[in-house]
Amino acid sequence: MSYVAIADRDHEQEHHDPQTFITKYIWSQDHKVIAVQYGITAIFVGLIALCLSAMMRLQLGFPDEFTFINPENYYQFITMHGMIMVIYLLTALFLGGFGNYLIPLMCGSRDMVFPYLNMLSYWVYLLSVIILIISFFVPGGSTGAGWTLYPPQAIMQGTPGIDLGIILMLVSLAVFIVAFTMGGLNYVTTVLQARCKGMTLMRMPLSVWGIFTATVLGLLAFPALLVSAIMMLLDKTLLTSFFMPAISSMGADPGYTGGSPILFQHLFWFFGHPEVYIVALPAFGIVSDLLSTHARKNIFGYRMMVWAIIAIGGLSFVVWAHHMYVSGMNPYFGFFFATTTLIIAVPTAIKVYNWRFGKAIFTCVSRCCFPSALFSRLFMAG
């Protein structure tokens, strides 16, 4: 049976437009409106992270003037700032915002394949943000365990927010991952099944390639964070011992029996390093298209750029333990991850040098695409 893209099928079933303000701007199934909703929510929560960052810098710059920022508050500020920026701002903005807006337009489809699921993914994301914000106002405040949430200190006495703070953080992460999964399946299915006639994979804009590859990375990496959040939540609430070793806390036995904190580190960084490229790959693709568009030339080395994106995505799953060199790993294990860390620089360099030394970049520098040209220069500088 031959395949006909959704965008090219007969218009016998009309695309019903919303009839009221609520169905158009609140419970909307239009990918553009949902993209704006994602963007507004992500920027709002990003502004909260910006305020936390400003307070941290005020305390560092004028330690005697801002006495209300005590050490516990500082730990909480830096934890929430890091988590918000990495997860709730950048991931949601690039994939939920740009992904929703650009994929149907650039692939030639009328909308996402699953509009209702798309709408639902935003509201579940909003729920995760609300849970996160509530953690600021519970007794003890938000968690101050650091954005990596390493056990055992994340859920033991002496760490700020060890009661409701850490619980709400873990619940919020789990809810966010559910939202991302709903959206991610939508993006992947739309790219693979709803392209217009003639839009082959090797004709797709690099922005779509970056968002598509980042979504696949997220669908494979976020489950590791989900299970680690659930397991730590069980360690906290039911005194299981997935990550908590046999340990005493302030002279008392909390009842843990030999879990492995290193297991959490492996699960977290198996998510954490691909997360770097979940954020970076959409930006790479967008910068490539901006340079090409404003230079009025085809992107230099298009196929090489596509394979570089795919290679970066694949290699990002075999470098995670370079965050754990001091954890006591076998030296041969460390050598493997040091080697893969060097190898992943090769496809990244291909992209950067294509930006810098392609004919498009030299034309573009002198035109109106200065921010993208500046991005390529700064990325090369490291």
pLDDT at 114 over 90: yes
pLDDT at 276 over 50: yes
List pLDDT tens digits, range 116-148. Answer: 999 999 999 999 999 999 999 999 999 999 999
Please, what is the Cα angle at 275 between 113 and 308, to 5 degrees? 80
Q: What is the DSSP letter of 326?
A: G
pLDDT at 292 over 90: no
List pLDDT tens digits, range 175-230. Answer: 999 999 999 999 999 999 999 999 999 999 999 999 999 999 999 999 999 999 99
CB 203 within 8 A of CB 158: no
Mean pLDDT for the chain overall = 88
d(CA 142, CA 290): 40
Q: Hey, what domains does the chain have and what are their CATH numbers? A: 25-204 (1.20.210.10)
Residue 117's pLDDT is what?
94
Residue 203's pLDDT is what?
93
d(CA 278, CA 208): 13
List pLDDT tens digits, range 54-66. Answer: 999 999 999 888 8
pLDDT tier, 14 (very low <50, low <70, confident <90, very high otherwise): very low
Query: Range with the lowest mean pLDDT among 3-7, 287-291, 341-345?
Result: 3-7
For the CA atoms of 338, 328, 271, 238, the dihedral, rounded to the nearest 10 degrees, stands at: 180
CB 187 within 8 A of CB 74: no
Mean pLDDT, range 21-48, rounded to an integer: 92
CB 291 within 8 A of CB 361: yes
